[in-house]
Amino acid sequence: MEKVYVGMSGGVDSSVTAALLKEQGYDVTGVYMKNWSQDLPGMKCPWREDYQDAKRVAVQLGIPFKMYDFEREYRQKVVDYMLAEYQVGRTPNPDIMCNQEVKFKLFLDTALADGADLIATGHYARISCYEREGPAAISSPTGITDVSHGRRPQIASPTGSAASLLVAKNKNKDQTYFLYRVGGEALAKSLVPIGEFATKAEVRKMAKKFGLATAEKKDSQGICFVGKVGIKDFLLHELGEQPRGAIIDQNGKVIGEHDGAIFYTIGQRHGLAVGGGLPYYVTGKDIAKNEIYVTTDLQDGQLWRRDLKITDLHWINDQPKPNKTYQVRTRYRAPLLACTLDIGASSAVVKTSEAIRAVTSGQSAVIYDGEKVLGGGVVI
């Protein structure tokens, strides 16, 4: 019997994940990852409540339950990375780094060392396993054979196997954008059964069927650890007050003063405190000069990009082919756009079929081939 450690956050998705896998015959252990416990101004960190909710579900399911304390590593790998990126003027995505460094690396390695054969999470995505030499498919293309009847999928053996990442059946909740930096070997040791559900309502219906304590619990909002606290408030808490500087319009005229260049991102409209007339949009910033550049023209060329240069490349399995049309997504839930790739040794140029508004340095461009996620890189 394969032993699966399920990352249980205290939410309904990971609760249903644990229940489904137990029903399918896996030897399931629930694990709460303690990544962040610090209270922030105006918000008490809910980790204790989430831990108790996860534990309550584990008791309901009759499965062992553990807590892994990853707080120190999380601060180093995710929070410090995010703060450093903001300080040099980029807008990072900490959820992507969390998946890369914590959930599908640190959690996976710790679970395997603790006796697990596989891990599972409540992500909205699908995984297809295959042997590298072949590639002969040895599991269903969804990574789970039949959710409704509980038949177990055939899992790729850890040796010589890899996996592809596929979009979830629920396109509105699909989280593959945040998972593009997870490697094929890690995916081959992971299960994500929630990706098979077409709607969130189906997940909650399944939670009620199992009688889970989290069936009606609301989804968490915001960045993975900041929660309901705004990113500006979090940066102020961590980095302190920032030097004020000039806001300069498209004509080179100083029209106001900002309260810290690191707080602003491309395309931002609110929070500029420039009153009267047409709304202004951020088109750029110069951290060294401590200046913010804005425009009232939505068609301003500084707001739109067609050729995106990306670095820190990561391909889940094989590098995309040249002269082939793929699709790119530049932010979570953004529409997919047709693109071609010019890939170099350490960077690539993504040439899109149409201009994209407010592409921001530090964010990720994720490449898709239909429903398959190929990988991507960080926009510069």
Determine the angle formed by the axes of helices 12-23 and 200-210, rounding to 10 degrees. Answer: 60
**Both tokens assigned to 241:** 């007050």
Stated length of the chain: 380
168 φ/ψ sector (left φ>0, alpha ψ -120 to 50, else beta): beta
Contact by Cβ (8 Å): 183, 374: no
Helices (H), the chain: 12-23, 47-61, 71-74, 80-87, 94-98, 107-113, 184-188, 200-210, 231-239
45 included as an active-site residue: no
Name the residue with tokens 């509105």.
172
User: Using CA atoms, how far apart are residues 180 and 264, in angstroms rounded to an integer?
Assistant: 26
Instruction: From residue 80, give the alpha-carbon distance in Å to each of 76, 310, 362, 363.
Output: 5, 22, 14, 16
CB neighbours (10 Å) of residue 77?
A: 20
Residue 141, preceding peptide bond in cis (omega within 30° of 0): no
Give the catalytic positions in this structure. 98, 224
